[in-house]
Amino acid sequence: MKRACILCLLFCLAVGLFAQEGAETSKKVSIGVGPEWNMNSRENFAMGGVLGFTVDLPNSFAVGLTAAYSNNFSGIQVIEPSALFRWYFLSENHTGLFVQADAGAYLVLEDGELKPMFSAGLRGGIRLPLGDKFFVEPFGRVGYPFAFGVGALVGIKF
């Protein structure tokens, strides 16, 4: 039974490999990193960094993950891992204006305690290609519990 399952799995993988033969060869995976200014603080603002990973889907959609770290420089640190669903609404090549839904965790580190919360938000931005591989992506976001964030990513598609 074990051998039959392994053979079936190998067959499924092989069929998937041959199905990609006629597919387009454009780059579908991207990774970006950059700074963000946000409201991850009780008072004033916080500064942080964002790491994003996206996979392009058909019909101008993309899915992925983001992770952000923020510090207000007076005792509050926030880590935000989240999943994303993105729609490039004026383009078919996964560039240009987009709107994105984010959902994930909001982990507040304050006074030696970890306070986990749920996070949800909407993000809008524009992906500007720099040649075939690189891009710049300024964005803004609103949501709960952070209120807002503004930043930019630079990244690579492969």
Task: Provide mean pLDDT across the span 51-72.
Answer: 96
Which pLDDT value is given to residue 15? 46
13-38, pLDDT tens digit by residue?
Answer: 444 444 444 345 578 999 999 999 99
Question: CA-to-CA distance for 151 and 70, rounded, in angstroms?
Answer: 12
Q: What's the mean pLDDT when you consider all of the chain?
A: 87
Mean of the pLDDT values across residues 144-149? 93
Assess whether pLDDT exceeds 90 at residue 107. Answer: yes
Which tens digit of pLDDT belongs to each residue from 123-143?
999 999 999 999 999 999 999
Is the link from the previous residue into 129 a cis peptide, with omega within 30 of 0?
no
CA distance 80 to 71: 12
Rounded distance, CA 24 to CA 13, Å? 19
Instruction: Report all structural domains of the chain as residue ranges with CATH numbers, in order of start.
Output: 27-157 (2.40.160.20)
